[in-house]
C-alpha cells in the first residue's frame, strides 16, 4: 500500500472500566484491508455514548443506573455490549468516521481510492442484509476510527461530496442516523408535534433538524444553560430539561397540552410525565435512556389512550444513504461543539461525559 505506514496512532480499549482502560499508542499495527474491504485514512471521528456505555458496561442488564461514564461494579461480563454479547479486547472504538479511502483489498472497488467518505456504522451480513439480527456496530464488534487508519467492508462506505470540514462531517454518523430512524419508526411527518428530550445532545439536536425537515413542529427539552446553543438547530419551542408542570409548559409553548410524538433518549424518573403528554393515538419512540433505563409506566395510560411504542437501534439499509443525501443537499447542518486531537482523547472524552456542550464532540487525526 503506497505511503501507508506499518504502524499508527490509536486509542485502544483494554477492558471494561474507567477512562484508564483507554490507552493511547503511537505504534499500533495499521490494519490491512481484506477481500472486499477498504482502508480509510481517518481525518476525524465523532464521540458517542455507545463507546462510553460499552466501556463502562452500562448495557449489561445487571446495571440499572443512569449513564455516568464511570465503571459499574455490577457489570455482567456476558452481556456488556449493545447487542448483549461479550466484547473482545483490545478494541479500537469510534464509529463516526470521516476519512479518505487510501487502499482497497482484493475484489474491492479501486475507484473508491481518493474519495472522501463516511461509514455506515452498522455491520451487516451482506448475504442477508435485511436481517437486523445479523448486525454488528462499528467500533464495537470490529475496530473503529479512534486511530489514523481503519478498515471496513466497502459496502459500508459512502462517498460524500460537500463543503463541510472533516470535523463537521464526523458529527453525523451515529447520532443523525439514529435520529432519522427514530422518526421513520414513529412515521413522523407534517402535522406532527414532536417533543424531543435530550435536545442539546447529538441525537436530540439531530432530531430537531430532521423532524423540521419533514414538516413537523419540534419542541426541544434541554437544560436552560444550553438553550442558546439548541436554538441553532431551529426548534419551534424550547422547554427546560424537566418542567414541573409539562402540560402547562406545552400549553404555553404551542397552545396544546399534548403532542403527537415523544422522541426520547433520556428516560429516567421523568418518563411517566412524558408519556402522559401524548395525545390519543400518540407515538413514543426511544433510542436511549441516559437518565436511567428503569422507568415507571402506568399501563392505563398506554391502553386507554391507544398509544404506540417504538424502540429504535439497528438501521435497515438505506437510512444512512438518505442521511448522506440530506448532508450533500445542505438540508441539515452539523452541530460541532468541540474537537480534540487524538493525543488529547481522554480530555475530549471527559468533556463528552461532563455534557456542558451542545451537539457533538469529535477527535481529529490530521
Ligand atoms: N439506540 C441507538 O442506536 C443510539 C444511538 C445513539 C445514542 N443512543 C443513546 O441515546 C442517548 C443520547 O445520546 P446522545 O449521543 O444524544 O447523548 P449526548 O450528546 O450525550 O446528549 C444527551 C443529553 O441528554 C440530556 N440529559 C438529560 N438528563 C440527563 C442525565 N440524567 N444525564 C445526562 N444527560 C442528560 C443532556 O442535556 P441537558 O443537560 O440539556 O438536559 C445531554 O446533553 C444515550 O443514552 C445514548 O446511549 C442510542
Instruction: Return the pLDDT at 208.
Output: 98
- Looking at the structure, do residues 25 and 66 belong to the same domain, yes or no? yes
Q: Are residues 224 and 355 in the same domain?
A: no
Distance 175 CA to ligand 1 centre (A): 10
| Rounded Cα–Cα distance for residues 56 and 67 (Å) | 9
The CATH number given to whatever domain includes residue 285 is 3.40.50.720
Phi-psi region of 100 (alpha: psi -120 to 50; beta: other; left: phi over 0): beta
Q: Is 227 helix (H, G, I), strand (E, B) or coil?
A: helix
Phi-psi region of 50 (alpha: psi -120 to 50; beta: other; left: phi over 0): alpha
- In a domain, residue 168? The reply is yes
- How many domains does the chain contain in total? 2
Cα 4 from Cα 6, distance rounded (Å): 7
Output the residue whose Cα is nearest ligand 1's atom 10.
Answer: 288
- Is 139 part of any domain? yes
Whether ligand 1 lies within 6 angstroms of the CB of 121 is answered as no
Residue 328 lies in a domain: no
pLDDT attached to residue 236 = 98
340: Cα separation from own chain's centroid: 18
Give domain status of residue 326, yes or no. Answer: no
Are residues 112 and 236 located together in one domain of the fold? no
Is residue 321 in a domain?
no
- Using DSSP bridges, classify how beta strands 7-13 and 308-311 pair: parallel, antiparallel or unpaired: unpaired
Domain that holds residue 214: 175-311
Q: How far is the CA of 214 from the centre of ligand 1 (A)?
A: 22
C-alpha cell at 158: 459512502
Question: Residue with the nearest Cα to atom 29 of ligand 1?
Answer: 291
Q: Which pTM was predicted?
A: 0.97
Distance from residue 360's CA to the centre of ligand 1 (Å): 11
Series of mean pLDDT values for 10-residue runs along the chain (366 residues): 90 96 98 98 97 93 88 83 89 98 98 98 95 95 98 98 98 98 98 98 98 98 98 98 98 98 98 98 98 97 98 96 98 98 98 98 96
β-strands 217-221, 237-239: how paired?
A: parallel
In Å, what is the CA distance from 144 to each residue of 141, 208, 224, 244, 329?
9, 27, 34, 41, 27
Q: Which atom of ligand 1 is nearest to the CA of 230?
A: 40
Inside any domain, residue 329: no
pLDDT at 67: 87
Pocket flag, ligand 1, residue 140 (CB < 6 Å): no
Kindly report the number of other CB atoms within 10 A of residue 308's CB atom. 15
Q: 139 alpha carbon to ligand 1 midpoint, in Å?
A: 19
Q: Give the C-alpha separation, 236 to 196, whole Å.
A: 11
Judge if 94 and 198 occupy the same domain. no
116 and 237 in a single domain? The answer is no
Residues 127 and 255 occupy one common structural domain: no
Q: Is residue 317 one of the residues assigned to a domain?
A: no
Q: Whose CA is nearest to atom 26 of ligand 1?
A: 198
Q: Check whether residue 21 and residue 161 sit in a common domain.
A: yes
Same domain, yes or no: 168 and 193: no
| Domain identity same for 183 and 299 | yes
**Ligand 1 centroid distance, CA of 287 (Å):** 9
CATH code, domain with 98: 3.90.180.10
With respect to residue 318, please indicate whether it lies within any of the assigned structural domains. Answer: no
What residues form DSSP beta bridges with 336?
A: 360
Cα–Cα distance for residue pair 366/351, rounded to 1 Å: 20
User: Are 168 and 84 members of one domain?
Assistant: yes
**133 and 209 part of one domain:** no
Judgement on whether residues 26 and 145 belong to the same structural domain of the protein: yes
**Which of 311, 326, 356 is the last residue in one of the domains?**
311
359 Cβ below 6 A of ligand 1: no
Q: Is 202 in the pocket of ligand 1 (CB under 6 A)?
A: yes
Q: What is the pLDDT of residue 2?
A: 67
- CA-angle at 15, arms to 10 and 290, nearest 5°: 95
What φ, ψ does residue 26 adopt, rounded to 5°? -115, 5
Burial of 83 (0-12, 13-18, 19+ CB in 10 A): middle
Amino acid at each position: 500500500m503506497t505511503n501507508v505506514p506499518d504502524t499508527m496512532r490509536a486509542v485502544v480499549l483494554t477492558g471494561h472500566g474507567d477512562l484508564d482502560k483507554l490507552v493511547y499508542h503511537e505504534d499500533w499495527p495499521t490494519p490491512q484491508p481484506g477481500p472486499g474491504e477498504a482502508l480509510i485514512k481517518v481525518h476525524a471521528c465523532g464521540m458517542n455514548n455507545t463507546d462510553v456505555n460499552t466501556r463502562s458496561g452500562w448495557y449489561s442488564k445487571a446495571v440499572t443506573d443512569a449513564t455516568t461514564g464511570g465503571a459499574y461494579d455490577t457489570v455482567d461480563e456476558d452481556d456488556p455490549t449493545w447487542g448483549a454479547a461479550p466484547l473482545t479486547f483490545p478494541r479500537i472504538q469510534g464509529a463516526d468516521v470521516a476519512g479518505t479511502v487510501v487502499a482497497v483489498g482484493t475484489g474491492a472497488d479501486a475507484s473508491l481510492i481518493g474519495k472522501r467518505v463516511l461509514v455506515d456504522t452498522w455491520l451487516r451480513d451482506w448475504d442477508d442484509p435485511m436481517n437486523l439480527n445479523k448486525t454488528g456496530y462499528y467500533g464495537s464488534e470490529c475496530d473503529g476510527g479512534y486511530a489514523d487508519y481503519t478498515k471496513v467492508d466497502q459496502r459500508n462506505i459512502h462517498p460524500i461530496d460537500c463543503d463541510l470540514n472533516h470535523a463537521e462531517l464526523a458529527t453525523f454518523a451515529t447520532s443523525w442516523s439514529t435520529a432519522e430512524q427514530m422518526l421513520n419508526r414513529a412515521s413522523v411527518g407534517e402535522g406532527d408535534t414532536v417533543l424531543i428530550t435530550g435536545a442539546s445532545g447529538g441525537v436530540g439536536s439531530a432530531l430537531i433538524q430532521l423532524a423540521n425537515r419533514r414538516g413537523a413542529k419540534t419542541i426541544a427539552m434541554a437544560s436552560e444553560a444550553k438553550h442558546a446553543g439548541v436554538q441553532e438547530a431551529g426548534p419551534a419551542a424550547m422547554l427546560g430539561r424537566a418542567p414541573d408542570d409539562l402540560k402547562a409548559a406545552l400549553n404555553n409553548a404551542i397552545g396544546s397540552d399534548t403532542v403527537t410524538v415523544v422522541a426520547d433518549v433520556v428516560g429516567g424518573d421523568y418518563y411517566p410525565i412524558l408519556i402522559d403528554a401524548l395525545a390519543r393515538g400518540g407515538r413514543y419512540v426511544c433510542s436511549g435512556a441516559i437518565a436511567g433505563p428503569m422507568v415507571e409506566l402506568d399501563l392505563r395510560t398506554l391502553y386507554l389512550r391507544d398509544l404506540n411504542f417504538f424502540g429504535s437501534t439497528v438501521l435497515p439499509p438505506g437510512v444512512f444513504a438518505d442521511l448522506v443525501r440530506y448532508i450533500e443537499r445542505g438540508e441539515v447542518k452539523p452541530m460541532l461543539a468541540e474537537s480534540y486531537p487524538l493525543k488529547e482523547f481522554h480530555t475530549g472524552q471527559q468533556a463528552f461525559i461532563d455534557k456542558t456542550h451542545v451537539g457533538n464532540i469529535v477527535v481529529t487525526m490530521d
